[in-house]
Structure 1
């Protein structure tokens, strides 16, 4: 599910966000359009979370309410007529559900302690921060909807007046009037309660907003809306749907979530999860295994074969994301070569690549955290070189005239295990992924750093680049037959254009493009289209963006990269990114000219900070100009305060390579004294990466800011989580297991990494010192044993770190898991498996467990047969299995390449390696059509014991529910 949710988030970044709420609901309700509901989730998750914060909820309680609100919206999408904006409805629903959640929490607390009786005091003095927010919420509820809605959008969702006008389809002047009248009414009502409206509105703006919505929150809402909610969210939603058919309604919600949203591969009927089984006890007290030095290299046994399967003597080399390619040697006559390569270079992985004369290249990823088998210390690698097939094509303008002198570069490649796999990928893209804005892809991919026209490291650029002739024609030689190739076309006076071609003789993209284009809501899809092996590329005119970059003294800055990153200027996090990221570098006079941009409604450009010179980042925006007239945007950079220091392991004193983040804290009085620098869309975190000695230099502004150190992800579990700066406790808040801080402009952000400190520099400071010491994690040893009590060496386990959604960790050469940072009173759930012995198991551990062990056994099996409405077996149906427990699902994804099987001719299917004692659901699909048991009869299953075969018997296919039409 993690991989699928990542795909959804990428897809929604390309979805249009100007469509009215009522139209999005209509598309979802009548057509089952998944992208429409996804836009609503992204549009309003911040508002709903703001209501939760306003109600005093935090952590998992707030997340449960957010999930429940959108579950109720799913249920009611088909009921009645919706207004242009649903902000009022969402606000009211969130308020009710948050109240229910808070009441339940209060009742739990009341059973544990007795409340003190307060003394009689003046109304305002008696009001705590919590009561003040309650008063605000109550008076907001009493306002007419006409006035409440713009206030909610302004203060809870952080929209500007113009954005509110667009959301409500009302004139800006009308919105201004409603805001002013709403404030007056709210102020008058609050004054009667002893609250000054200025103070109240300030509190509302400062504490109610969420600020940067957590990516994991978006993921949890997407998952809940597609049939994978938390039990608490279901209970809250049940309370809201009190119409006599609650149970059926919730089943309907979940079925529709999976059948029409298409967000995840399974919908299960949620129930309260059973308590995690306690660990089996093993004799003796296991100690956490001694920390081993992190692997910094990989030893690979490489075999290179040709397309016909015979050995090939080939050149083998690495291509790195952040460095130049490195030659490793030539294979022997039998096609073999043993090499040792760095795990990562400059903190990033890359690919192992082979090429030979008369053959095209093949590749496999290495050193990439999110790819299975790319991080192992040793591996056997087989590379199969495809036959060579050149790509020939032509570039023309919108009038059909040839474009000569254009650059055509093959910037990325996707390979397939077979032609059948390629066809399946293309079919899936046309039927499903196109509507999510996702480009076609393959079984594995390699890409080069050709994202910018200027300034990119030439060593990281693709070697496959040509220039069109006077007739606009080009030929790219040396490319692989059967590869999916991403071409980037750039030329004088034309906008940068992407083309994706499947380089296979006889391939006809028309049926796939027709399927994608035939959907009536194709505007929700991306701009990607498939091309045949010899494409004709049509390019549009470019929009030139130019200007001058100067320093605080007005002198020009040379060699500065300026990037066109956004088409709007709303608060950071808006979905207005320029995916092309057109960029240019300033000349000796500080002038830049960005070429190749497409025409948009507006243009925000930005340049990164310069810690060496002590200069802050800078952004500026300009609206579009008529036609294709150039846009002029000048950037004057301001001087900030440099924070310099080192990051070290507190126990050993050794440096820890880390990313350094700087966030401006609430009430920083210096922000408005500086030109625009906080609205970046690009990520400049690499500029704030320490060197190998752990040294860093970052630049920020005076006043309170938060400095954070975050080691690479695979090392974060080796250190304790961050703790609040003891000198500034008021800036921090605990929510669940996470630490949050008060952001400037209101809202709260998540503290990244493992260490933080508040830096409060003076206006006269130019440089301050801050050294970070990371405290090693506490480790709890957990033995792994088999059914006979014998140790099992070399397992992988999910749940062993405090990092949510962390990938399973491997424990080679030991029978003891090292479980990090189990807090006092906390129970950590583990899902454990052996990658080759077909053993698996689950359990939980507490910090005071002294003899903990998890027992592994053979996985269970599940069999069944799918029948259609006439009782005939259904062949060729995809059956998927998904667990209710996140750790088990993550472990399964690492253990298995896919969680789906296909029914045989007799309709039968079988799953092996099923985790015992863990609830799961089954989901049926064929192409774009999803099936499932009837709504209120959707079953859930589990395998009781190790090795058990659970025979489900005959299962009804159920009613079809299409993803699109």
Structure 2
């Protein structure tokens, strides 16, 4: 059995703002038969939660398109024994393939939710409310005046099934972006659930937000008249001090990766917020020389944080107004025209002058070119579900027009998904470019990804004459219209097209190459099978590293033009091995694992002081080598030097080149050159470096 090393979020409900909760398959509930849900609600001590209220998603219009088209409506109240019987009413979100959220709330406790599909609806539903710890705060402006009526909303709640945030906080210090993986229960709320999860500041600017639940993480948004909308990543633990966690996370982040507000710093359950004065952006969205207005266009801007989005829609005259934007940073507006129109989306970078409070901007959108086609398996002819996008090439004259910047810059919104049979319809910019397909793998959040059995694309001989390819080690790329590299990795089909503006569109099919497969048999030095090993290079595109339960593994999408370096690591037994495969090898290829190597020593900084408590980092230039080590060690505590600068690194891959680096606070140090093309560590080698003086790298 093959499993990819991803966090399991089974049983959780991660709702997308306009995908999961707003999709309304089938007829409205109650149109033919009444759906009845039954179950019980308990308090944290297991006693019945008498009077708990049950909420269900309701559609205000038959086909909801924006969040204001839906609400959570109370549909039942638990009796004295905590039991409830809930009947879906006309207009309520129907049951279907996509689970729907059922919420329970009782004042004094946190909200609780579960995902309900047809199977869950037929069973008794059990909800256990958590203890609550109200989030309190104070909102003032930059002159110290209270912001009366400031809106405070918890939009996203995350929790761990184990009931506490210990693992989350430990992970946050080293890798904040990966810490969320420890929280296996998540939900993005579109609206308040009854009286919970939303409140307003009083005349003193103070507020109390109920319903999040203790030992949970909530994204709390504060907005209001005249102030910038802000997001707070609240750890709802009593007396929690976020300072040491934020300091550690900042120190462990590469200097070039540091951006203001990213990731959102942790906040404690008491928020003292000084709100900046807002920037108001007004304008119109239009098209053509006669400035024809575009109605119902979505205009949005993403502020600091994960879900800090401010959005509105244009009126019949194409006018819009966005409030709550930050003046101290140049906002970016995204304009999305209603589906079905032939107008392209647009991204606009705003230039805000010092002290400016109101900005007027007119945004022109252009008609695009429709490309239709099918993505299919070259060997079977069957369609394959994929993402399709267009990349303009150098020399595309339309790339100079600001109206097409969304398609030229690295922020490419010219993308669409095929249906299950591979058919697609893409609206994009005109001119020469590359139409590309990326096969959609299984969602790792929904229970583990699988290898994508297709090769990275290769240009036809004719297209290859038009598109110069840059090869840098294992990376292949070509230049786009903005001179940025478009990498081959993760892209599975491509064809050069010339799209004519104002024409009838174009048709283009994209063929996927499954390549060849090979089977490896994993064994130790005695020839005995080895199980539970990590294998890197299983596929030609991510995900490429999997943990294999058996002693054999299939390697996909191989080809003789690019031999694949496959690396196997069994960390518990300290064994590793590798093989280079093309798919032409007969029978199972034996990969014999040998003992891993070990490095030890004592690190000093350039001044001769021991590098105490420094992260020890090993960088392998070959993708399959650093990939297998990174995944195998992801759940382990990071390797650090001791108080005297001593360290010992286990499971060093024999036969692989690597570089040794150290990180102390925000400073990086490089070690001596240990390996080269002619020198790698031998199986089982135990290399003692002794005292080593490092060089500063930043």
Q: Which TM-score band (shorter chain)?
A: 0.5 to 0.7
Relative to structure 2, which stretch is displaced further, 524-533 or 645-654? 524-533
Deviation at 1:882, TM superposition (A): 1.7
Asked if structure 2 preserves the Cα contact closer than 8 Å seen for 1:795 and 1:834, the reply is yes
Structure 1 equivalent of residue 559 of structure 2: 822
Aligned mate of 1:720, from 455, 459, 462: 455
Deviation at 1:707, TM superposition (A): 1.5
Trace 1:631-646 onto structure 2 (pairs within 5 A): 631-646=359-374
CA distances 1:793-848 after superposition (whole Å, capped 9, x unpaired) = 56441123333x75403555561332422333x44221113587765322323454
Q: Given the superposition, is the C-alpha separation of residues 330 and 778 from structure 1 closer, same or farther in structure 2, using an over 3 Å criterion?
A: farther
CA distances 1:624-648 after superposition (whole Å, capped 9, x unpaired) = 3674442121223222221122222
Structure 1 equivalent of residue 405 of structure 2: 678
SS at match of 1:787: coil
Structure 2 equivalent of residue 757 of structure 1: 495
Distance 1:422 1:849 in 2: 45
Deviation at 1:399, TM superposition (A): 1.9
Trace 1:186-585 onto structure 2 (pairs within 5 A): 317-321=12-16, 322-324=19-21, 387-412=131-156, 428=173, 444=182, 464-509=197-242, 526-527=260-261, 531-552=267-288, 554-564=291-301, 582-585=310-313
SS at match of 1:495: coil
Matched, 1:693 2:429: no
Distance 1:547 1:710 in 2: 36
Deviation at 1:497, TM superposition (A): 1.6
Structure 2 equivalent of residue 613 of structure 1: 341
Asked if structure 1 preserves the Cα contact closer than 8 Å seen for 2:104 and 2:113, the reply is no
Matched, 1:653 2:381: yes
Structure 2 equivalent of residue 732 of structure 1: 467
Matched, 1:787 2:525: yes
Instruction: Count how many residue pairs are aligned between Structure 1 and Structure 2.
Output: 591
SS at match of 1:607: strand
Aligned mate of 2:577, from 841, 853, 857: 841
Q: Given the superposition, is the C-alpha separation of residues 937 and 295 from structure 1 closer, same or farther in structure 2, using an over 3 Å criterion?
A: closer
Distance 1:782 1:889 in 2: 20
Give the aligned CA root-mean-square deviation in angstroms.
5.5
Structure 2 equivalent of residue 889 of structure 1: 626
Asked if structure 1 preserves the Cα contact closer than 8 Å seen for 2:171 and 2:179, the reply is yes
Distance 1:331 1:492 in 2: 39
Relative to structure 2, which stretch is displaced further, 710-719 or 899-908? 899-908
Aligned mate of 1:662, from 390, 394, 404: 390
Asked if structure 2 preserves the Cα contact closer than 8 Å seen for 1:707 and 1:759, the reply is yes
Q: Greater share of strand residues, 1 or 2?
A: 2
Q: Given the superposition, is the C-alpha separation of residues 541 and 447 from structure 1 closer, same or farther in structure 2, using an over 3 Å criterion?
A: farther
Trace 1:77-96 onto structure 2 (pairs within 5 A): none
Deviation at 1:597, TM superposition (A): 0.6
Deviation at 1:766, TM superposition (A): 2.5
Q: Given the superposition, is the C-alpha separation of residues 816 and 936 from structure 1 closer, same or farther in structure 2, using an over 3 Å criterion?
A: closer
Structure 1 equivalent of residue 28 of structure 2: none
CA distances 1:695-750 after superposition (whole Å, capped 9, x unpaired) = 22112344433221111256784123323255544322233366655644667644
Tell me which of the two structures has the higher relative contact order, counting C-alpha pairs closer than 8 angstroms and 6 or more residues apart: 1
SS at match of 1:733: coil
Q: Which runs of 5+ in 1 are unaligned?
A: 1-291, 303-315, 336-348, 365-382, 451-456, 567-575
Deviation at 1:924, TM superposition (A): 5.6
Deviation at 1:544, TM superposition (A): 0.9
SS at match of 2:468: strand
Structure 2 equivalent of residue 180 of structure 1: none
Structure 2 equivalent of residue 808 of structure 1: 545
Asked if structure 2 preserves the Cα contact closer than 8 Å seen for 1:362 and 1:385, the reply is yes
TM-score by length of 2: 0.67
Structure 2 equivalent of residue 92 of structure 1: none
Asked if structure 2 preserves the Cα contact closer than 8 Å seen for 1:415 and 1:442, the reply is no
Distance 1:646 1:768 in 2: 12
Asked if structure 2 preserves the Cα contact closer than 8 Å seen for 1:932 and 1:958, the reply is no
CA distances 1:328-361 after superposition (whole Å, capped 9, x unpaired) = 99999999xxxxxxxxxxxxx9999999988768
Asked if structure 1 preserves the Cα contact closer than 8 Å seen for 2:598 and 2:651, the reply is no
Structure 2 equivalent of residue 38 of structure 1: none
Q: Given the superposition, is the C-alpha separation of residues 351 and 606 from structure 1 closer, same or farther in structure 2, using an over 3 Å criterion?
A: same
Asked if structure 2 preserves the Cα contact closer than 8 Å seen for 1:879 and 1:922, the reply is no
CA distances 1:644-683 after superposition (whole Å, capped 9, x unpaired) = 22222233333322111112334345566x6622246685
Distance 2:7 2:602 in 1: 46
Asked if structure 2 preserves the Cα contact closer than 8 Å seen for 1:784 and 1:854, the reply is yes
CA distances 1:914-939 after superposition (whole Å, capped 9, x unpaired) = 43344556556665677787x68999
Structure 1 equivalent of residue 81 of structure 2: none
Asked if structure 2 preserves the Cα contact closer than 8 Å seen for 1:787 and 1:855, the reply is no
Asked if structure 2 preserves the Cα contact closer than 8 Å seen for 1:643 and 1:768, the reply is yes
Q: Given the superposition, is the C-alpha separation of residues 949 and 350 from structure 1 closer, same or farther in structure 2, using an over 3 Å criterion?
A: farther
Q: Greater share of helix residues, 1 or 2?
A: 1
Q: Which runs of 5+ in 2 are unaligned?
A: 24-36, 47-97, 115-126, 442-448
